[in-house]
Amino acid sequence: MNMRSVLLAAGLALASALPAAAEKLSLSALSAYLNSFETARGAFTQINDDGTIQTGTIYIRRPGRVRFEYDPPEETLVLASGGAVAVFDPKGNSGPETYPLERTPLKIILARQVDLSRERMVTAHDHDGSATTVTAQDPENPDYGNIQLVFTGPPVELRQWKVNDSGGGSTTVVLGDLELGPSLPNRLFNIQLNTRQR
């Protein structure tokens, strides 16, 4: 084997050992991933509009249910269930503040059937060499704000999202590794039950 062949073989071996550059993930692949699971659980880090940081555990049960359980010393709890979002503030004593899930961009990924290729839903679809970012909104109500979803893959994984609300505020949620398909009891998402327990 001559030197050129040796160098060529070494170069091919090195190339095969390096991870392939991630390609831009298609909207159909991202929709299929989101539709592939009903339940998920994992750690999250939340970066608020004022720069403060909170951590906790997120529980997802599609369609329409999510629970943000914040780590101590935080006592805040956020639940989405039955078409409503309830924010339990430990400083309040009049029950949770509630508002319609329909008015939040988070409803896009909590839908029974996610279809990011729906007309006027996705307003941006970008790739930075390692992750694919999709900006999505409610096509009928773009004034409700939008959600920026960041995915890596293949295999496809949801890594973070940023909700930009109608009031101009934004909240970023960075996800740890999500466990897909865990058994999650209904009581985790029951707003009335959690109101009584608090």
Q: Per-domain residue ranges for the chain?
A: 21-197
- The yes-or-no verdict on residue 7 having pLDDT over 60 is no
pLDDT of the residue at 90 = 78
In the structure, what pLDDT confidence band is assigned to residue 167 with cuts at 50, 70 and 90? confident
- The yes-or-no verdict on residue 13 having pLDDT over 50 is no
In the structure, what pLDDT confidence band is assigned to residue 9 with cuts at 50, 70 and 90? very low
Of all residues in the chain, what percent carry a pLDDT higher than 90?
Answer: 70
d(C-alpha 82, C-alpha 113), whole Å: 17
pLDDT of the residue at 54 = 95
* CATH among 3.40.50.300, 3.30.390.50, 2.50.20.10, 3.55.10.10 for 21-197: 2.50.20.10
- The yes-or-no verdict on residue 86 having pLDDT over 60 is yes
pLDDT of the residue at 94 = 72
pLDDT of the residue at 31 = 96
Q: What pTM was estimated for this model as a whole?
A: 0.84
- When comparing pLDDT for 48 and 21, which is higher? 48
In the structure, what pLDDT confidence band is assigned to residue 197 with cuts at 50, 70 and 90? confident
Ranges 6-20, 82-96, 145-159, 161-175: which has the least confidence: 6-20
